[in-house]
Amino acid sequence: MNAAQAESTPRPRGRLHVYAGMCEGAGATSRMLEEGARLQASGTDVVLGVLAGAPSPRIASLAEGFECVAGASVAYRGVTVEGLDVAAILARLPDVALVDELWRQHAPGLRPATRWAAVEAIRDAGIDVVATLDLGHLASLADAAATITGVAVHERLPDAVLDGAEDVELVDVSPSTLRRRIADGQVVDPERAATLLDRVYTVANLEALRELALRSLTRRVEREISADGAPDARMPAGAMVVPVDGGPGGRDAIRRAAALAAALGLPLMAVVAEAGTVWAADGGNPFSAVDDLELARDLGAEVLPVAAADAGAALVAASRRLRAGHAVLPARTSSLGDRLRGRSLVERLAAAEPSLELHLVPIRGEGGG
């Protein structure tokens, strides 16, 4: 359709279809390009608005079949940065524009200032958009993702943009498959891959990111069902529990639990094991425990003292009482008490509460983080 035809036949506002992955490398870009190819094969006029970064051979191959609308480029901090050129796409007036990495901010000098604002302008012209999103850049999940990976998230997509999408599809991938893609150089260059695997995308971190992504999309579906009038649509049940005993890694576990609880819409419970009036931390420090409790309260936790001999017994009792769905633990080596019992804390929890999802937080240093 050309511009003259568009003027005579006003278009309805364009639809937004988002392929969302838990992080880079999940496969959202591939799915976007494959959907574009499917639409193109059915006779739809599709253009490539912007493709992020230096594409892998597979992505470059998938992108070959599309007309690429020249992006607006500016020099920024010694690098040429390409943005989504709204004027060029409106002049071309395709049926569908493909837009990678919806959350991006444009470099100074490009207008609009963000990629999602550019997409909104394109949709206003009646053009459908198929886009990608790493859910760790969604505003409501960014802090939780940063807590999980240890990497600050500066570019964030407002939730309202995703809420305004007609279709959001999760591109799921197992942690082992994603780590293999990274190791094979399909996601980042080999020099960066080793650091990414060792420090950021560990198996535990990817499992937590995957859980975050799945829960986020589940909550979206529940909201849609609720909007349709279903009386039993509910937020996820249960609670997030975290032990507070003053031991190593405790503060990191508390921060992770708070971030996940906020993202999943769950109450956060800080579980304290008490034996009479004495802190019963298995290897913990009562003075550190007091500081950790203050941190937990600052992050919105409710403190739950449990009369128990150790953190494991306290967590089991608390989880049963609260019908908790998640527990966040520092990934410590087995204590003397655990070795005498013949099972680690994780093994004890898994045996006592099989439905409890356990999240292990690596210990970055001694002294409780």
Predicted pLDDT of residue 235: 39
Asked whether the beta carbons of 119 and 132 are under 8 A apart, the reply is: no
Amino acid at 75: A
Predicted pLDDT of residue 242: 92
pTM, rounded to two decimals = 0.64
Predicted pLDDT of residue 230: 46
Residues in the chain with pLDDT values less than 50: 229-236, 276-283, 336, 339-340, 365-369
- The 3-state DSSP class for residue 21 equals strand
Asked whether the beta carbons of 99 and 63 are under 8 A apart, the reply is: no
- Which two three-digit tokens encode residue 308? 């128990």
CA distance 321 to 179: 37
Torsion 97-102-105-111 (CA) sign? positive
The candidate with the shortest Cα–Cα distance to 135, out of 289, 238, 19, 56, is 19
Asked whether the beta carbons of 223 and 308 are under 8 A apart, the reply is: no
Residue 336, number of CB atoms within 10 A of its CB: 9
Predicted pLDDT of residue 82: 65
Predicted pLDDT of residue 40: 96
Predicted pLDDT of residue 179: 93
Predicted pLDDT of residue 226: 54
Query: What angle do helix axes 311-322 and 345-352 make, rounded to 10 degrees?
Result: 30
The full set of domains in the chain, from first to last, is: 3-227 (3.40.50.300), 240-361 (3.40.50.620)
Predicted pLDDT of residue 279: 37
Predicted pLDDT of residue 236: 47
Predicted pLDDT of residue 330: 87
Tens digits of residue pLDDT in 186-201: 888 888 898 899 989 9
Tens digits of residue pLDDT in 259-280: 888 777 788 999 988 753 333 3
Residue 306, number of CB atoms within 10 A of its CB: 18
- The 3-state DSSP class for residue 67 equals strand
DSSP string, 206-228: HHHHHHHHHHHHHHHHHHHHHHT
CA distance 333 to 283: 11
